[in-house]
């Protein structure tokens, strides 16, 4: 286990902006930040905002990942953390390294419930324990952390005691109630936000009716716990529109489904700034058992210019920036402001003023300077933070288009190459770049990037992610006129696009009787998942489980959680059994149909497919230990088909457009993840040279070693 100790003074740092200076094997920074980088919600958002603010000010920042016991999953780092790391705005410190800085900011006390095993050799002048959660609330089966234990553990691990910094008054009260001797900063360490990125011009309401909205996880603790409170805060009333982003599991359980006048958008389907620009009132009420430490969603709503209506407990955080009341007060507040444009504008301005004065990047730099002093790097130019989108208009539209918008042309069925080429040529005239063509034809040659393989809803959604497509166009070949946009059976436009988020524009391309091309919008159908007997059973089961979860006595919750976890594991096991061996054939009859899959990734056209596949098949036949699968350029299709080898195709790096909306490495990462999911590959190896049957090669040894993963 690594140890940490107090700093040895104030040696001058002379590294460049954002980078570390190494002296005697020690990496030196201005600020260290420790968190569990897998946290999916507000904790990660707050860390990223502070990294952005520090980067712009010239503070050189390093990030330490310390697993929290409350984050039991083995999920990867949150995407926003990955993005600031890739952008070079923060550097990752590994457990074996030595690092020195002026201050260590620890976000989440649970990181130090015990001395962290992954703690590097840390030397700092001061440590700030940022408490963004109360030690215990009514939701907990046991306390999240014990203040005195965390304090003394941190002191033992770092060689000095931390100073505590609660993110809001309710957390401050709870910490003092837990241990009155805890040392704390004078002012709360409130969350911050880059206001210009979130702001959008507003003049009155965004539409003809008031739009009420909220965004949060669908967890039951984030929603009111009764039907009356839910429908009071988020009315099913023709006088209002209700929009929800992020998850509606809890209200579906309580209401037995979503009201018809609600619009529900999945988490991540729309950038949050764009969503908030399309609502007038952010209405945020939660379960009475939840102690909301701060309310980052409220801060985001204020920064976007929405009027926020929240519970009275939040007044100690936001003051006159919000309006306060019970769920039953919501419609009266909305009606009053909707009828008085001047009062509506004044309330918006109070919210925006609070953001500028108390929750801005400048406010963070001032409080950080008390611990870290002046930054030693050069200030960065102002830019939009990674993971956010450019400013948006009042209707949710982009003010400026992205530099290289990407479009995906989905071609169901098997039309001729000439007809597809005509469609691509037609779209070139109306798009900023040629579309990526999704087709089942491996032999297609057109003046555009081509993704060949299965054409179904899952693959369309995957390719839209891989290419960051903002526009998906489904070609209607006219073979089936039963529904607008329908092609062959099972390939309707609405079906093929059912897995896409609301931030993707949808269209249908067709030719009329006069052979003129027509591009028309495709109306989404989001009601399918709510219909049918299976959906009814799922809603009923959800209400039963959700009700039990909300009302189970605290002493019985640990046993109930263990039971639900066991049920979940059994469901996963059953799904795997039902799925069988998957799409990868064994090729040879003597090889077990469920033998491990070895995936070969070929990124270059220089590798000969015929010789290489023969070498791989010979190894599979001789050892009987694996089923081969290949992710390679489309030029491998004929050779793989003749040999019965599973092939998923990809665009090689030398064919990649440098002006594409996504880097090739990010595209490869997305394609690889999807192929691994489809094949269930036990091992993945990259191949950059031609294999020859009979010649020993490390790649063949790696594939054979997959037997250990059966």
d(C-alpha 227, C-alpha 217), whole Å: 18
Distance CA 194, CA 303 (A): 8
The full DSSP string for 566-609 is: HHHHHHHHHHHHHHTT-S---SSTTS-TTPPEEEEEE--TTS-H
Top-level class of domain 195-359: alpha beta
User: Reduced to 3 states, what is the DSSP secondary structure of residue 508?
Assistant: strand
Would you say the CATH fold of 597-709 matches that of 406-521? yes
CA 579 centroid distance within chain: 27
pLDDT, tens digit (0-9, with 9 covering 90-100), for 278-316: 999 999 999 887 777 788 899 999 999 999 999 999 999
pLDDT tens per residue, range 97-126 = 999 999 999 999 999 999 999 999 999 999
CA angle at 468 for the pair 526 and 470, rounded to the nearest 5°:
55
Over residues 431-480, the pLDDT tens digits come to: 877 899 999 999 899 989 999 998 999 999 999 999 989 899 999 876 54
Angle, helices 457-467/664-679, rounded to nearest 10 degrees: 150
The domains of the chain are located at 5-178, 195-359, 406-521, 528-579, 597-709
Quick check: 566 pLDDT over 90? no
Fold (CATH) for 406-521? Rossmann fold (3.40.50)
Q: How far is CA 388 from CA 52, 79, 470, in A?
A: 12, 11, 15
DSSP letter for 72, please: -
Higher pLDDT, 228 or 266: 228
Asked if residue 489 has pLDDT above 60, the reply is no
Determine which helix (DSSP H) or strand (DSSP E) holds 306, and give its type and residue range: none
What gap in Å lies between CA 33 and CA 31, rounded to an integer? 7
Most confident segment among 251-255, 260-264, 605-609: 605-609
pLDDT (tens digit per residue) in 143-158: 889 999 999 999 999 9
The least confident of 182-196, 521-535, 559-573, 631-645 is 521-535
DSSP 186-230: SS-------HHHH-----S-SSSS-EEEEE----GGGS-SSHHHH
Side-chain-side CA neighbours of 526 within 13 Å: the count stands at 13
pLDDT digits (tens, 9 = 90+) for 604-660: 889 999 999 999 999 999 999 999 999 999 999 999 999 999 999 999 998 998 888
Per-residue pLDDT, 382: 61
The 10s digit of each residue's pLDDT in 362-420 is 999 999 999 999 999 999 876 555 444 433 333 333 333 334 458 999 999 888 889 89
Query: Is the predicted pLDDT of residue 361 greater than 60, yes or no?
Result: yes
pLDDT at 13 over 50: no
Rounded (5°) CA angle 17-22-26 = 125
Model pLDDT, residue 106: 98
472 has which bridge partners?
Answer: 408, 506
Rg (CA), the chain: 28
Q: Which of 46-55, 303-312, 502-511 has the lowest mean pLDDT?
A: 502-511
- For residue 15, the model assigns a pLDDT of 39
5-178: in CATH 1.10.10: no
Q: How much of the chain, in percent, has pLDDT values that exceed 90?
A: 56
Residues near 621 by beta carbon (within 8 Å), at least 6 away in sequence: 587, 588, 591
pLDDT at 558 > cutoff 50: yes
Residue 696 to residues 557, 699, 702: CA-CA distances in angstroms? Answer: 57, 9, 11
The pLDDT tens digits for 195-251 are 888 988 899 999 999 999 999 877 778 899 899 999 999 999 999 999 999 878 889
Residue 396: predicted pLDDT:
35
Q: How far is CA 459 from CA 26, 81, 441, 482, 489, in A?
A: 47, 27, 14, 24, 17
Determine the average pLDDT of the residues in 356-363: 94
pLDDT averaged over the chain? 84
Count CA within 13 A, CB hemisphere, residue 272. 26
Quick check: 18 pLDDT over 50? no
Q: Which residues of 503-513 are buried (b: 16+ CB within 10 A; e: fewer)?
A: ebebbbbbbee
Ranking 264-268, 293-297, 318-322, 325-329 by mean pLDDT, the lowest is: 264-268
Residue 112 DSSP class? G
Confidence (pTM): 0.73
The residues pairing with 450 across neighbouring beta strands, listed in sequence order, are 437
pLDDT at 246: 80
Residues with Cβ within 8 Å of 434's Cβ and at least 6 positions away in sequence, in order, are: 424, 427, 428, 447, 448, 449
Structure tokens at 446: 């057109």
Q: Where does the pLDDT of residue 554 fall: very low under 50, low under 70, confident under 90, or very high at 90 and above?
A: low
SS (H, E, C) 411-471: CCCCCCHHHHHHHHHHHHCCCCCCCEEEECCCCCCCCCCEEECCCCHHHHHHHHHHHCEEE
* CATH code at 597-709: 3.40.50
The residue that leads in pLDDT, 605 or 483, is: 605
**pLDDT on residue 479:** 57
């Amino acid at each position: 286990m690594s140890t940490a100790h107090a700093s040895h003074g104030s040696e001058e740092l002379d590294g460049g902006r954002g980078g570390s200076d190494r002296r005697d094997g020690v990496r030196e920074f201005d600020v260290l930040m420790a968190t569990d980088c897998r946290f999916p919600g507000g904790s990660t958002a707050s860390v990223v905002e502070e990294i952005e603010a520090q980067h712009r000010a010239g503070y050189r920042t390093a990030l330490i990942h310390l697993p929290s016991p409350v984050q039991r999953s083995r999920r990867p780092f949150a995407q926003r953390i990955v993005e600031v790391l890739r952008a070079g705005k923060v550097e990752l410190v590994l457990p074996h390294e030595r690092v020195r800085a002026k201050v260590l900011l620890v976000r989440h006390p649970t990181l130090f419930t015990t001395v962290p095993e992954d703690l590097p050799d840390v030397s700092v002048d001061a440590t700030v324990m940022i408490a963004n959660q109360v030690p215990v609330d009514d939701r907990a089966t046991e306390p999240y952390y014990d203040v005195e234990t965390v304090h003394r553990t941190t002191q033992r691990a770092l060689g000095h005691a931390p100073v505590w910094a609660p993110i809001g008054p309710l957390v401050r009260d709870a910490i003092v109630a837990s241990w009155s001797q805890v040392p704390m900063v004078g002012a709360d360490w409130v969350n911050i936000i880059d206001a210009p990125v979130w702001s959008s011009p507003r003049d009155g309401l965004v539409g003809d009716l008031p739009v009420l909205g909220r965004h949060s996880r669908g967890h039951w603790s984030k929603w009111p716990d009764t039907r009356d409170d839910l429908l009071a805060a988020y009315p099913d009333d023709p006088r209002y529109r209700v929009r929800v982003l992020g998850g509606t599991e809890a209200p579906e359980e309580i209401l037995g489904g979503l009201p018809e006048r609600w619009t529900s958008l999945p988490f991540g389907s729309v950038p949050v700034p764009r969503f908030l620009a399309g609502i007038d009132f952010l209405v945020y009420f939660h379960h009475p058992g939840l102690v909301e430490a701060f309310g980052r969603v409220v801060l985001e709503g204020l920064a976007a210019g929405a009027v926020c209506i929240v519970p009275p407990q939040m007044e100690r955080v936001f003051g006159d920036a919000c309006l306060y009341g019970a769920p039953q007060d919501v419609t009266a507040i909305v009606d009053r402001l909707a009828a008085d444009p001047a009062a509506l504008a004044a309330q918006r301005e109070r919210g925006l003023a609070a953001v500028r004065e108390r929750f801005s990047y400048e406010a963070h730099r001032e409080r950080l300077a008390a611990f870290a002093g002046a930054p030693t790097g050069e200030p960065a130019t102002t830019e939009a933070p990674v993971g956010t989108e450019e400013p948006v208009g009042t209707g949710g539209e982009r003010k400026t288009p992205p530099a290289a918008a990407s479009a995906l042309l989905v071609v169901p069925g098997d039309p001729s190459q000439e007809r597809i080429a005509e469609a691509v040529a037609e779209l070139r005239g109306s798009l900023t770049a040629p579309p990526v063509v999704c087709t089942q034809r491996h032999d297609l040659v057109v003046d555009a990037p081509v993704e060949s393989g299965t054409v179904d809803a899952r693959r369309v959604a995957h390719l839209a992610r891989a290419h960051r497509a903002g526009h998906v166009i489904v070609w209607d070949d006219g073979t089936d006129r039963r529904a607008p946009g329908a092609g062959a059976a099972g390939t309707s436009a609405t079906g093929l696009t059912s897995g896409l988020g609301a931030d993707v524009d949808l269209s249908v391309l067709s030719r009329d009787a006069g052979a003129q091309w027509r591009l028309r919008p495709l109306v989404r159908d989001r009601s399918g998942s709510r219909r049918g007997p299976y959906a009814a059973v799922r809603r009923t089961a959800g209400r039963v489980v959700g009700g039990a979860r909300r009302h189970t006595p605290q002493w019985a919750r640990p046993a109930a959680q263990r039971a639900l976890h066991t049920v979940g594991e059994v469901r996963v096991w059953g799904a795997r059994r039902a799925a069988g061996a998957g799409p990868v054939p064994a090729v040879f009859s003597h090889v077990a149909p469920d033998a491990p899959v070895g995936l070969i990734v070929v990124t270059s056209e220089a590798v000969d497919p015929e010789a290489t596949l023969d070498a791989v098949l010979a190894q599979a036949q001789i050892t009987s230990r694996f089923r081969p699968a290949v992710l390679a350029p489309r030029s491998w299709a004929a050779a793989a088909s003749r040999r019965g080898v599973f092939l998923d195709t990809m665009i090689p790096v030398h064919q990649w457009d440098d002006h594409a909306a996504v880097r090739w490495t990010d595209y490869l990462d997305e394609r690889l993840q999807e192929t691994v999911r489809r094949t269930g590959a036990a091992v993945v190896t990259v191949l950059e040279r031609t294999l020859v049957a009979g010649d020993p090669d490390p790649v063949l040894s790696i594939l054979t070693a997959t037997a250990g993963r059966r």
